[in-house]
A and B are shown apart, each in its own frame.
Chain A
Amino acid sequence: MTIRPFRLLVLCISLLIPAALCAVVLFLAGYAGQAISFNGLHFLWDETWNLGDLYSDPVTVNGYTLPMGAEYGVLAFIVGTLSSSGLAILIAVPLSVGAAIFLAEAVPVLESRARQKLSWLPPIRPVLAMLVELVAVVPSVVFGLWGIAVLVPFIGHYISPTGNGYGLLATAIVLALMITPIIASTLYDALLQVPKENRESAFALGSTHFEVVSKAMMPMVRSTLAGGIVLALGRALGETMAVLMVSGGGLNMLPTSLFSPISTIASFIVSQLDSAESDPTSMSVKALAEIAFVLFVITLAVNIAAKLLSSGALNVRSRKA
C-alpha cells in the first residue's frame, strides 16, 4: 500500500472531531469524578443545592474538602428541565403539524387559485417555508429578550393569578416557539416525499382533501414525524439563554403550578458561574461538571433515539408492509 499524504492529512483533520467529543466526555467525567463519588446517587433525587458557607473554613466530610453545609442535589433542575421541555413539546407538536400540513397541501391550492386572478403574484409557498425556517435561526438570547419584553408581561397581566409572568409557562412557550421549525420542516419535507400514487388513490376513493392528508398521508410519515419530535426535544432540553431569561430562576423547589419559577440544568449552570468561582474548595465547580455531564448524557440518549426513529430502525411496522 502506498502512503497518500493528502488522504492522511484530511483523515487526521477529520479525526479532530471525535477527539473533541472524547475530550468533552473525558474531561467532564474526570473533573466531575470527585463530585460523583462524594454525592453518590442521591445527587439525582436531592432537591436542595446549597453551596454552603463560602467564607468560613472548609470542612472535611468523608475525606472530601468542601464548604460548611454544602449539599448538592439536582432533582429540582431535572424536573424543571423535563417539565419545561415536555410542555414545550405538547405546545409545539400541534402547532408545527398544522403549519406543515397547511404549507405542504393547502398553500399550493390557494396559490394557484389566487394566481388565476392575480398573475403577478410572487411565489407564496417558498416565502412562507423560509419564514418558518427562519424561526430556527433567531438567536436564543433574542428569544429571551422577546420573552422578557412581550411574553412575560402578557402572562403576568392576563393569565397568571399571581401577576408574575416568569416561570414554567413562559419557559415552555418560548421553548415551543424555538422548536416548532424543527418539527415543522421535518414533517413538511416528509409530506412532499409522499408518493403521488398514494395521494391520488385516496382522492379517487372520494376523500376530501383534508381526509387525504390526515388519513392517507400522515400515517405514512409517522415515524419521520416522531424522529423530528424527539430531535426537537433534544434541542429543548439543552436550550440555555432563553430559558435563563424567562424561567424566573427558581431554586431548591419543585414546580407546583404553571407559574412556578423553575431552573433547568442548562440555565442553572450559567447562573451559577459567579458563586462557583468563589468556592475555595472548587467542589461546586466539580458538582456543576457533574450536572453538565448529566445533561450531556440525557441529550445524547435523546439524539440517538431521534436518529434511530428517523432512520427507521425502530419502524417495524412499515418494514413488514
Chain B
Amino acid sequence: MSAVAKLESRSAQEVRRVALSVAGWGLCALALLGVIFPLLDIVGVVAGHGIAALSFELFTQTTTGPANGLANAIEGTFVITLFAMLIAVPVGVGAGIHLSEYGKNRLGSAIRFMSDTLTGTPSIVLGYFSYIVFITALGWGFSLLAAAITIAILIIPYLARITELALQQVPNPMREAAYALGATDGVVVFKVVLPAASGAVITGGLLGLAISVGETAPLIYTAGWSDQMWTGRFTQSPLAYLTYVIWTFINQPDEHSHQLAYAAAFLVMLVVLAINVGVRLMVKRTKFS
C-alpha cells in the first residue's frame, strides 16, 4: 500500500496497476458500507418509531379496544418461546451429547446430515407440516402446543450441532481421567464434559431463544392469532405473538396500528440483537455454522 508514493518515477503500466488497486479498494469499502448501512438504517428506523410508540398501556392492554396495547402478543411470544425451549433444550443438548461423545460412526454422520437438512428446510415448510399434522389431522386447532413443537423442531438441529461443537472442544484427557476414577458414562458427561463446555452450550440456547422470538412464518400456520390473553390451554386455543403484529398491523390503514407494529418490531429486535451482541461479546468469536 505504500506503493502510492513516487508515482512519477513509474511506468505507465505500474501507474495503471496502482490506480486499479486504489479503485478496487474503493469499491470494496463501498460494498462494506452497503452491507452495514442497511442494518444501521433498520435499527434506526425501527428504534425511532418504536421508542416513540412505547407506553405503559402497551404492556397492560390487549390488542382489543381503543387504547390498545400488546400485552397478549408479548405474553404469547413469551409462552411459545418458553415451551419451545422446554422441548428443544433437552432434545437438542441430548442429541449433541450423542453426536459428540458416541457419534463418530456412520449413524452419527447420517444424523448430522439429517440435522443439517432440517436446518436448511424453509421454516414455512415446517409450519405447513405442523398445520397438516397437529392442526388438521390431530385436531388440536391453532394452539400453543403446535406452535411450541414447531419452533422446537426449528431450534433442535441448531442446538444439537452447537452442543456437539462445544463438547468437541473439551480435551479427551479430562474424559479419560474421569473414566479412570470409575465414573459411569452419565457422570462423565454431566459432571465433567458438560460443565467444561457449559458456556458454549448456554450460548447455543440463547441463540435458539433469539430464533424463537423472531420467527413468524411457522407460527402463522400453528399459533393462529387471538386478541385475548392466553387462555392457559395447550390445545384448541389460538394465541397472539409479537411478529404477527408486525406484519399485519403495518398494513392497516390507521396510524395507531402502525405504532403498534413498530413497537412490536422494536421489542423483538431488542431481544434478538441484545442476545446476539451479548453472546458475541462474551464468547470471543467462536464459529458455529
Contacts and interface: CB of A to CB of B under 8 A. Distances in A.
Interface in B214-268: 214-217, 220-221, 243, 246-247, 250-251, 261-262, 265, 268
A10 B184 CA distance: 14
A38 interface: no
Given A31-B132, A135-B35, A17 B29 contact: no
Contacts of B25: 102, 106, 210
B120 interface: yes
Contacts, number: 259
Interface string A284-321: 01001100100110011011000100000000000000
The 10 closest A-B pairs by CB, nearest first: A238-B122, A98-B31, A139-B214, A13-B94, A210-B21, A14-B95, A303-B120, A102-B28, A14-B98, A10-B98
Interface stretch (B38-46, B67-75, B171-179): B38-46
A127 B90 CA distance: 33
A79 interface: no
B18 A288 contact: no
B200 to A, nearest CB: 17
Contact of A16 (B35, B38, B95): B95
A270 B21 contact: no
A283 interface: no
19 contacts: A6-B185, A10-B97, A13-B95, A14-B95, A17-B115, A102-B31, A106-B28, A134-B276, A137-B272, A139-B215, A139-B216, A140-B216, A141-B265, A146-B41, A148-B251, A150-B41, A210-B25, A238-B122, A273-B221
Contact of A135 (B29, B39, B115, B280): B39
Contacts of A296: 121-122, 125
A144 interface: yes
A24 interface: yes
Contact of B243 (A13, A129, A141, A208): A141
Contacts of B115: 17
Interface in A257-286: 266, 269-270, 273, 285
A191 B1 CA distance: 18
B86 interface: no
B51 interface: no
A11 to B, nearest CB: 5
A98 B29 CA distance: 7
Interface in B75-103: 90-91, 94-95, 97-99, 101-103
A204 interface: no
B52 interface: no
Interface string A119-158: 0000000101111111101111111111011100000000
A14 B94 contact: yes
Contacts of B197: none
B272 A139 contact: yes
**Size class of the A contact interface (CB-based, 8 Å):** 35 or more
**Size class of the B contact interface (CB-based, 8 Å):** 35 or more
Most buried by A among B1, B101, B120: B120
A146 B269 CA distance: 12
A1 interface: no
Contact of B273 (A7, A95, A137, A214): A137
Contact of B128 (A98, A139, A234, A269): A269
A96 B31 CA distance: 7
B32 interface: yes
A18 B117 CA distance: 10
Is chain A's binding surface mostly helix, strand, loop or mixed? helix
B212 to A, nearest CB: 10
A270 B120 contact: no
B186 interface: yes
Given A96-B35, A137-B210, A208 B18 contact: yes
Given A13-B95, A128-B32, A266-B122, A23 B129 contact: yes
Given A21-B117, A269-B128, A270-B220, A4 B45 contact: no
Nearest to B249: A145
B285 interface: yes
Is chain B's binding surface mostly helix, strand, loop or mixed? helix
A272 B104 CA distance: 44
A17 B39 contact: no
Given A99-B35, A106-B28, A177-B38, 20 more contacts: A9-B94, A13-B98, A17-B114, A18-B111, A18-B114, A98-B29, A101-B28, A128-B32, A129-B285, A131-B40, A141-B268, A142-B42, A148-B251, A208-B18, A211-B17, A244-B247, A266-B125, A289-B132, A292-B129, A295-B124
B110 interface: yes
Given A132-B36, A135-B38, A17 B157 contact: yes
Contacts of B132: 27-28, 31, 285, 289
B35 A141 contact: no
A128 B37 CA distance: 11
Nearest to B33: A99
Nearest to A132: B35
B31 A130 contact: no
A223 interface: no
Given A15-B111, A140-B217, A211 B21 contact: yes
A184 B34 CA distance: 12
Given A109-B1, A241-B216, A95 B269 contact: no
